[in-house]
Amino acid sequence: MTGKEVGMGEWRNSTWGEEISLEYGKALRDYNTGGGKYRVYGSNGPIGWTAHPLAKGPGVILGRKGAYRGIQYSNDPFFVIDTAYYVVPKKDDLDLRWLYYAMQYHKLGEIDDGSPIPSTTRSAVYAQEMQVPTLPEQKRIAHILGTLDDKIELNRRMNATLETMARALFKSWFVDFDPVRAKMDGRKPEGMDAETAALFPSAFQESPLGPIPKGWTAGKVSEAFNLIMGQSPPGETYNENEDGLPFYQGRTDFGFRYPTRRIYCTEPTRLAKEGDTLVSVRAPVGDINMADEKCCIGRGVAAIRHKTGATSFTYHTMASLALDFARFEAEGTVFGSINKQNFENLAIIVPTAEIIAAYESQAASLDNQVRINDRQSRTLTSLRDALLPKLLSGDFVSTEIPL
C-alpha cells in the first residue's frame, strides 16, 4: 500500500492499530433507571444515563458484542458499558470526528470473529489497513459530514418537541378534559379561543369508562375508525430494487414518525394510504408510525384512520392506547399479538366531530412540520451517505465542496 497525493497533501499509509487504542467499557448498574446527565452507550448505541462519565468528550464508541455493533459519536463526556469499546487516539494529528466517519467507511462495526456470539475483537480491528489525510483535511471532512449530521440531529430534536406538544394537547383535551374542568370552575380554558372553547361542554356524564364530557360517548375502535389488518404477499414478490410499493412488515421498519423504505413489493395484498397510522400488531404490539405514501403492509402491521379522515387525531389516539396494547403484548404465548376483533373492540371515548376537527386544525400544523423536518433529514442523510465514501477515500477533496 502506498501513500497518495490528494488535494491538500499526502495521505499516510497505516493500520488502525497504529492509530488508535480500543478501550473496554465497564459494567454499570441502573443506567436505565438512574438519573444523571451523561449518556451511557452499549453495543447498539445510547441505552441510558449516569451521573459519572467514563471518558471525556468528544469521543467515539464501537460496539463489541451482539448482532448489531454500531459506531457512535459523542460531543460530551460519556460512559461505555462492557459490551462496547471507546476510542483513544495514539497520535496527536487525529481528529476524533474524522475517526468516527473513517470507522464507518471501513465498516469496523461489521468485523466478526466468527464466534457463536457475534463479536468484534481488537486484534481484528487493529490489523485493518487505512489511509490517513493531513489533520487540516481531516477537520474539513469532519466539518462537512458533521454539519449534515448536526442538522439531522437538530431536526430530530425539533420533531421530538413538536410531538410532545401535540401529545400534550391531546392529553389535555381527551384524557384530562382540561377545557371541561375549566368551564365547570367558571374559568376560561387556557390557550383556547372563544369559538373553540364553546365546543366543549361544562359538565360530565357517567359512562362505562367513568365520567366523560357531556355529549361524548363511550365506544369501541370500530365505531370511530376504519381498520385494515396487514397481510404478507408471496415472498417472491419482495425486492430491494425499489420495484413496486414500499412494504412494511413491522416494528423493524418503523422510524421516529415515518417508516424506512427497505423492502418493496410488486404484488401488494393490503394497502395503507398516505396519512394512515401504522400500528405494530405482532411482537411488539402497539408501536406506531405514520404512512407518508401509499404502501403495502404485511401481517405485522395494521393501518387505521378515523372515519372523518382526521390523521393527527388518529395518530395520537393510537399513542394514547399504549397500555391497552401492552396487555396483548403480555398475553402472547410465544410473542405478543392482537387480532382484528380484539383491536376493534378496544374501548375508547368518542368526542364530537366538531371537537375532533378543532384538534385536527391545531395538531395538524405541528404534525406537518414534523413531516417537513423528516423529509429534509432524509435528503440530508442521502447526501451524507453519498459524500462519506468519496471524502474518506480521497475521491473528493474537501475544498471542492462548498460549505
Q: In this predicted structure, what is the pLDDT of residue 395?
A: 86
29-33, 165-169, 264-268: range with lowest mean pLDDT: 29-33
Q: How confident is the model at residue 313 (pLDDT cuts 50, 70, 90)?
A: very high
Q: How confident is the model at residue 400 (pLDDT cuts 50, 70, 90)?
A: low
Q: How confident is the model at residue 66 (pLDDT cuts 50, 70, 90)?
A: confident
Q: In this predicted structure, what is the pLDDT of residue 1?
A: 45
Is the Cβ–Cβ distance between 92 and 109 less than 8 Å?
Answer: no
- Nearest C-alpha neighbor of 229 from the set 314, 323, 339: 339
What is the rounded distance in angstroms from the CA atom of residue 261 to the CA atom of residue 259?
7
Q: In this predicted structure, what is the pLDDT of residue 181?
A: 97
Contacts 24+ apart (CB under 8 A), 365-369: 366/162, 366/163, 366/165, 366/166, 366/312, 367/162, 367/166, 367/311, 367/312, 367/315, 369/158, 369/162
On the question of pLDDT at 241 being above 80, the answer is yes
Q: Where are the domains of the chain?
A: 4-132, 134-179+352-403, 217-350
Is the Cβ–Cβ distance between 122 and 84 less than 8 Å?
Answer: no
What is the rounded distance in angstroms from the CA atom of residue 9 to the CA atom of residue 192?
62
Q: How far is CA 388 from CA 13, 90, 138, 154, 393, in A?
A: 19, 24, 12, 20, 8
Fold of 217-350: Adenine-n6-DNA-methyltransferase TaqI; Chain A, domain 2 (3.90.220)
CATH class of 134-179+352-403: mainly alpha
pLDDT digits (tens, 9 = 90+) for 250-297: 888 999 999 999 999 999 999 999 999 999 999 889 999 999 999 999
Amino acid in the structure at residue 320: S
Is the Cβ–Cβ distance between 303 and 281 less than 8 Å?
Answer: no
pLDDT digits (tens, 9 = 90+) for 102-159: 999 999 999 887 777 888 999 999 999 999 999 999 999 999 999 999 999 999 999 9
On the question of pLDDT at 336 being above 50, the answer is yes
Q: In this predicted structure, what is the pLDDT of residue 226?
A: 98
Q: In this predicted structure, what is the pLDDT of residue 402?
A: 64
Q: How confident is the model at residue 9 (pLDDT cuts 50, 70, 90)?
A: low
What is the rounded distance in angstroms from the CA atom of residue 114 to the CA atom of residue 103?
20
What is the rounded distance in angstroms from the CA atom of residue 311 to the CA atom of residue 275?
6
Cell of 12: 499516510
What is the rounded distance in angstroms from the CA atom of residue 9 to the CA atom of residue 376?
34
Q: In this predicted structure, what is the pLDDT of residue 403?
A: 59
ω into residue 211 within 30 of 0, thus cis?
A: no
Q: In this predicted structure, what is the pLDDT of residue 334?
A: 61
Cell of 292: 407518508
On the question of pLDDT at 80 being above 80, the answer is yes
What is the rounded distance in angstroms from the CA atom of residue 288 to the CA atom of residue 255?
9
Q: What is the CA radius of gyration of the chain?
A: 25
Name residue 60's beta-bridge partners. 73
What is the rounded distance in angstroms from the CA atom of residue 163 to the CA atom of residue 282?
24
Q: What are phi and psi of 280, to 5 degrees?
A: -70, 125
CATH value of 4-132 in 3.90.220.20, 3.40.50.720, 3.40.50.1360, 3.40.50.970: 3.90.220.20
On the question of pLDDT at 7 being above 70, the answer is no
On the question of pLDDT at 341 being above 60, the answer is yes
Which pTM was predicted?
Answer: 0.84
What is the rounded distance in angstroms from the CA atom of residue 301 to the CA atom of residue 188?
42
Domain 217-350 in the same topology as domain 4-132? yes
